A and B are shown apart, each in its own frame.
Chain A
């Protein structure tokens, strides 16, 4: 009797837990569901449906017209290519550079290391908006080797969207935290075996840094994929614009809500794919951080 009662309580507890999880999942899923369903409806129907549960259902006049019209209004393929290109290069370069910087902070001995690390961490508190204009003025006066030789000014280019964002304090800090908690014996043993600094970095440390690589990659991916203010300030030509700036194309006098939902649905897909691909390592990283913390 007691055992049954325990079992009942256990089942009830599991049931409640699942109910709570489903509720939380629903809260997170409903906006995405609303977005996708709205992308299939004409504007007037979509706006009228917002007052009822119909907003989350594929009912009424359903079609892919909004997607077709979104493609007509915005050069989506070009913008998507630009975002994929700038984001991929930025993520790859930032993983390399930030992990190398963190490796140096964690395992190498050099003068001023502690002060420099403190300064890097201190930059966390400076919002991008504060440094945007100085960055713009600097970028406008930097040299670059172009097809016609040395040119002054980085504006209106891919590299102005990539290079300023490769080194970042959050990335360095994440890697540094992870490296710092690795056993020193790993590095010492490799040194005794005659491994160089580069070999230790590339063959000993990075192969076991998967979870933090995933975390840093996801965070950098999100920042770059959502880039908006910086491209607005630095990019003049439509053919170089990233995908988030394209969202503004729909805000005309009569806002094309259905097309906005279609565009957002398309923009969200790469983010979901990227996250799902790295989800296991990302969760592992958070779990590991939790244990350490």
Chain B
């Protein structure tokens, strides 16, 4: 009997040891959803980061699922509905507050100092907590040609001394009057999506207005449709009335090639298009700061970032991955392969395009000096829609005050419908 018992205990111990051995060495899987399916350069770098992370430690193994960018948000919302969110979420910065407020995301828990030196646009802060961090940023500038500006005796603006509003207006008039261009300035009216808010709201902010009162995030009254907003709207409308910019019916093909073809003298565009301009014009290509309409030069900021889902069973693993991914080494890789602006100055210095004297160095400086993130509110999606509609209506000749008032009404109604989005009682 004793012998039988001993054998049974031995067998039990062996079984336990055999089953525990693989557990001890197995890595726990962390799911990561990524928006860049179909973007081979960016994807290759991310896969490399994941491989390095998985090989660097024995606790976690990140498994990627890729989604196309256009439909990524729908997939996340569907997953949230079915309780199927991944551990690590890739999130577009202005969408992050909405997902945090909806309970899809949890704050990050990174080591102290992990985000030192990051561009402000690359750190996703909501309600005083960091929810996401980006490995790069997107930067907008005025594309120009040195030869065109010099031929027309136009001063080349600098970060320290950008064009003033009046000066910029005169530049556009001068270039239009040459007759060499269909329009002096291509602002990108053909890109009817988020571009309108991302690219054009900085003009409003430079006039002294904004899409919403950032002190309270509870009203847009007097901010979007106040004196500054009205001044911006009238200037915006005059661009179209004077034929200085293409209208809302601009052909997408012209947007893509118009500046390169010489159809437009200047273009408002992001750093993702800069390589083509440098290839086409070499040293003649210039990337200039936004004009200052009185309240400083401003450009939009913040691109895709990584955060963790609130339903993750392994937030410590997800945080570990994000902290691993934001090493300069990988910021440089993303920049070199995808042409994006690295999120830190030290990574920019090591990159192929943004180093001191590099072809796209100016974009990093622009981001450091002029970037202002879009309103950090869960109501951003609706805010952006109302603003876009107002911009398009004004461009098409609508009464400026009426269009801005209508946008304010929509924004305020949405804030009220959603109980203030957590910013206060409504």
Given contacts A229-B74, A234-B78, A245-B71, list 16 more A-B pairs with CB under 8 A. Answer: A44-B260, A48-B253, A51-B253, A137-B82, A140-B82, A155-B84, A237-B65, A238-B66, A248-B68, A248-B71, A251-B38, A251-B69, A252-B38, A253-B273, A254-B273, A255-B256
- B71 and A232 within 8 A (CB): yes
Pairs across A and B, CB under 8 Å, 21 listed:
A44-B260, A48-B253, A48-B261, A136-B78, A137-B81, A232-B71, A232-B75, A232-B78, A233-B75, A234-B78, A236-B75, A236-B84, A237-B65, A238-B66, A248-B68, A249-B38, A251-B38, A251-B69, A252-B36, A253-B273, A255-B256
- CB-CB < 8 A to A232: which residues of B? 71, 74-75, 78
Provide the bound-state CA to CA distance between A254 and B260, in Å. 14
Given contacts A238-B65, A248-B38, A249-B38, contact A136 B82 (CB under 8 A): yes
Provide the bound-state CA to CA distance between A249 and B74, in Å. 15
Provide the bound-state CA to CA distance between A252 and B273, in Å. 12
Q: Mark B73-97, 1 if CB is under 8 A from A, else 0.
A: 0110011011110000000000000
B: which residues have CB within 8 A of A? 33, 36-40, 65-66, 68-71, 74-75, 78-79, 81-84, 251, 253, 256-257, 260-261, 270, 272-273, 276
Nearest neighbor of B254 in chain A, beta-carbon distance: A47
Interface centre among A51, A254, A255 (most CB of B within 10 A): A254
- B74 and A233 within 8 A (CB): yes
Shortest distance from the beta carbon of A255 to any chain B beta carbon, whole Å: 8
Nearest neighbor of A133 in chain B, beta-carbon distance: B81
- B71 and A236 within 8 A (CB): no
Q: Mark A72-84, 1 if CB is under 8 A from B, else 0.
A: 1110000000000
Provide the bound-state CA to CA distance between A136 and B81, in Å. 9
Partner of A236, one of B38, B65, B70, B260: B65
A: which residues have CB within 8 A of B? 43-44, 47-48, 50-51, 72-74, 133, 136-137, 140, 153, 155, 229, 232-234, 236-238, 245-246, 248-255
- B84 and A72 within 8 A (CB): no
- CB-CB < 8 A to B40: which residues of A? 72-73
Provide the bound-state CA to CA distance between A253 and B275, in Å. 13
Nearest neighbor of B258 in chain A, beta-carbon distance: A47
Provide the bound-state CA to CA distance between A123 and B288, in Å. 57
Shortest distance from the beta carbon of A233 to any chain B beta carbon, whole Å: 4
Shortest distance from the beta carbon of B123 to any chain A beta carbon, whole Å: 21
- CB-CB < 8 A to B33: which residues of A? 236
The secondary-structure label for the interface of chain A is helix
- CB-CB < 8 A to A50: which residues of B? 251, 253
Interface centre among B33, B256, B272 (most CB of A within 10 A): B256
- CB-CB < 8 A to A74: which residues of B? 38
Provide the bound-state CA to CA distance between A136 and B78, in Å. 8
- CB-CB < 8 A to A251: which residues of B? 38, 68-70
Provide the bound-state CA to CA distance between A43 and B276, in Å. 12
Nearest neighbor of B261 in chain A, beta-carbon distance: A48
Nearest neighbor of B260 in chain A, beta-carbon distance: A44
- A47 and B257 within 8 A (CB): yes
Provide the bound-state CA to CA distance between A236 and B253, in Å. 33
Shortest distance from the beta carbon of A228 to any chain B beta carbon, whole Å: 8
Partner of B257, one of A44, A236, A238, A245: A44
- CB-CB < 8 A to B273: which residues of A? 253-254
- CB-CB < 8 A to B65: which residues of A? 236-238
Provide the bound-state CA to CA distance between A253 and B303, in Å. 12
Partner of A252, one of B69, B75, B256: B69
- A233 and B66 within 8 A (CB): no
Provide the bound-state CA to CA distance between A103 and B30, in Å. 51
Interface centre among B39, B65, B71 (most CB of A within 10 A): B71
Shortest distance from the beta carbon of A13 to any chain B beta carbon, whole Å: 41
Provide the bound-state CA to CA distance between A50 and B74, in Å. 32
